[in-house]
Structure 1
């Protein structure tokens, strides 16, 4: 895929297929996992030698955006955006290669144990034991952990190196507890490891542990931003369609000035969000030095904007917007969860503000003219 035209056409085709597949799914259930795997979405970023498509994060982002637009259920975001890329960051080997192929084929559902409240750190440690390596630690709000076949746990060794441990959720010393949230379209779990003994060949070394954790945390934040962008676009489309047919006082409400301004504000916010998400996806995919900056910009703005847009959509639908049948509540709940997942807007803005903090003992020079 070379050239802007070819890439655009490919993205359009990918977007169309994803939209059709997700639209065919029942509102209260996930699309069939076999349909997801045969669509090739799980292996978009995997090399062809492992039965993948050899594409990149930009292509995965297209599917993630459609998942948000449809408020779709299922573990694809956790597998395609986090678990499979995590396997790509460790040293190859027979065990890892087999798991990677199985994940791409949809034969197994691996989930990366990355707490929804953490930013680039791991609370797990891997100690030496008589019977083999021993895993300790716990974290909460792990996306799709309750339905995982395998848990991929980043852990720190005693020497400070970071490794990826492949754990069976049903193994002794491992406990996965469902954590209900207001958003019914997704599942989260608390993962606890209390002296879980793991096989040596299931411990995979990252090529660069600290960098890998930061990269995966950035991917998680951008994935949520893509989801929020998609659901915000869905809310705008739904609202514009509704105000174009709903009549009040003998006029379509879309002709009222206040309604026009509200829809215009939604469009402006989405337009900014598209630019921010595109920059974050590109920088993360390229491993740009300032990737963290664009990630925090996208996560803080897009996820906050999506909550406002969903709330405004509910308001513009009038009394109908507050009913269960309208379905807008599904998007509002999802957007609200996205806002705090993998870093709240406040946390990411604090991260951005660190760029302007002067070193200790150095006072920043004042701007403006000097007084004589």
Structure 2
């Protein structure tokens, strides 16, 4: 079951491209090591890091729709590695920043896979960055703390959005080993992910290390958070499809009382419910991906709808998969627990379903007509 190949308004040529990309991703990620880690050099050689990068930096000049295909396959295989942090947030941020020698050099190195930059972005949707730039005698100093930053412990460079003295947000390029900066690993129940707490206490900022966004800086940070939310939804959709496929296959071979368990009414209903949830999630994710790729006006709404529904449904689907696998579902060999833990973490990552529903409710409430005088 492909997550985006049947997306509305997708041309036959684009659909064929996505199907080919999906097949290549499935094969490459199928070669993951025993710990589920994807080969970073293979990913770089495949060109996945530069899908959205301009041709001037050896990129493919493609869109988020192509990145979403890879994200879905990573969720399906429960692959680990910093690809989402780099391809979604770092490349997304670099595309939103004004050109400059430092930014351009980092862009080229990122596409080549020689550097792993991580954007230090935390908080609920719509939250302001927790970092500030303050003036000092020798320039600017960076202060702030963010917890559970994806792949921070593996980062070669940290890109930190921070409010500067004039009130706008700049992105500060920081060495993870700079004096005053600490990155502390934060273990989570999902063993396929890596997180860290980033704390800056008066980190000196070089004059050419504070980069500016094109246009409104706060809108740019919001767009980055929305990209991250859609990326997590793509991952959850991929793992949901994997759990549905695995459950249907198991129900077709597992026998109980002399019959395949797939012939039991209760099992049929449970699988049908899973299929309905996957189908709805697929439509919402396709709409969110399309809005991101086209930078549509409704991108924020589509992101919250996809994130809130898909990530909540993924926990339910993985839980049903474990239940329908019976005792086998609780074993390490089945791998069901890996997807369930990943789905549980995805549900909270970059905004919980409740936070995104609140965001949607506030948006629609602000657009409702005033009937107080009626």
TM-score when scaled to structure 2? 0.94
Note the residue ranges of structure 2 that are not aligned, 5 or more in a row.
1-8
| Equivalent in 303, 306, 320 of residue 311 of structure 2 | 303
Say if 2:308 and 2:353, in contact at 8 Å, map to a contact too: yes
Return the alpha-carbon distance in structure 1 between the equivalents of residues 373 and 336 of structure 2: 50
In structure 2, the partner of 1:184 is: 191
In structure 2, the partner of 1:253 is: 261
Return the alpha-carbon distance in structure 1 between the equivalents of residues 127 and 69 of structure 2: 24
| Equivalent in 220, 242, 253 of residue 234 of structure 1 | 242
RMSD: 1.8
Q: Are 1:13 and 2:16 matched, yes or no? A: no
* 1:18-167 correspondence to structure 2 within 5 Å: 18-115=25-122, 117=124, 119-167=126-174
Change (3 A) 1:365 1:182: farther
Return the alpha-carbon distance in structure 2 between the equivalents of residues 101 and 269 of structure 1: 40
Identify which range, 35-44 or 123-132, moves more after superposition: 123-132
Please state how far the C-alpha of 1:285 moved relative to its aligned partner: 2.0
| Equivalent in 325, 344, 362 of residue 336 of structure 1 | 344
Say if 1:284 and 1:291, in contact at 8 Å, map to a contact too: yes
Say if 2:89 and 2:228, in contact at 8 Å, map to a contact too: yes
Say if 1:37 and 1:105, in contact at 8 Å, map to a contact too: yes
Give the 3-state SS of the residue equivalent to 1:357 in structure 2: helix
Note the residue ranges of structure 1 that are not aligned, 5 or more in a row.
367-372
Please state how far the C-alpha of 1:195 moved relative to its aligned partner: 0.1
Return the alpha-carbon distance in structure 1 between the equivalents of residues 331 and 279 of structure 2: 29
Return the alpha-carbon distance in structure 1 between the equivalents of residues 61 and 369 of structure 2: 49
Give the 3-state SS of the residue equivalent to 2:285 in structure 1: helix
Say if 2:125 and 2:355, in contact at 8 Å, map to a contact too: no
Please state how far the C-alpha of 1:102 moved relative to its aligned partner: 0.3
Give the 3-state SS of the residue equivalent to 1:166 in structure 2: strand
Q: Are 1:284 and 2:297 matched, yes or no? A: no
Please state how far the C-alpha of 1:116 moved relative to its aligned partner: 5.4
Change (3 A) 1:116 1:365: same
Return the alpha-carbon distance in structure 1 between the equivalents of residues 10 and 341 of structure 2: 39
Q: How many residues align structurally? A: 365
Identify which range, 111-120 or 273-282, moves more after superposition: 111-120
Give the 3-state SS of the residue equivalent to 1:139 in structure 2: strand
Return the alpha-carbon distance in structure 1 between the equivalents of residues 86 and 34 of structure 2: 21
In structure 2, the partner of 1:213 is: 221
Say if 2:261 and 2:267, in contact at 8 Å, map to a contact too: yes
Please state how far the C-alpha of 1:364 moved relative to its aligned partner: 5.3
Say if 1:136 and 1:196, in contact at 8 Å, map to a contact too: yes
Please state how far the C-alpha of 1:117 moved relative to its aligned partner: 4.6
Return the alpha-carbon distance in structure 2 between the equivalents of residues 301 and 128 of structure 1: 43
* 1:261-272 correspondence to structure 2 within 5 Å: 261-272=269-280
Return the alpha-carbon distance in structure 2 between the equivalents of residues 360 and 71 of structure 1: 41
Change (3 A) 1:306 1:157: same
Q: Deviations over 1:250-292 (max 9, x none)?
A: 1111111111111111111100001000111111222222211
Which structure 1 residue ranges, 4+ long, deviate > 4 Å from structure 2?
Answer: 358-366
Say if 1:178 and 1:187, in contact at 8 Å, map to a contact too: yes
TM-score when scaled to structure 1? 0.95
Please state how far the C-alpha of 1:362 moved relative to its aligned partner: 4.6
Q: Deviations over 1:138-177 (max 9, x none)?
A: 1111000000000000011111111111000000010000
Say if 2:132 and 2:144, in contact at 8 Å, map to a contact too: yes
Give the 3-state SS of the residue equivalent to 1:201 in structure 2: coil
Please state how far the C-alpha of 1:29 moved relative to its aligned partner: 3.9
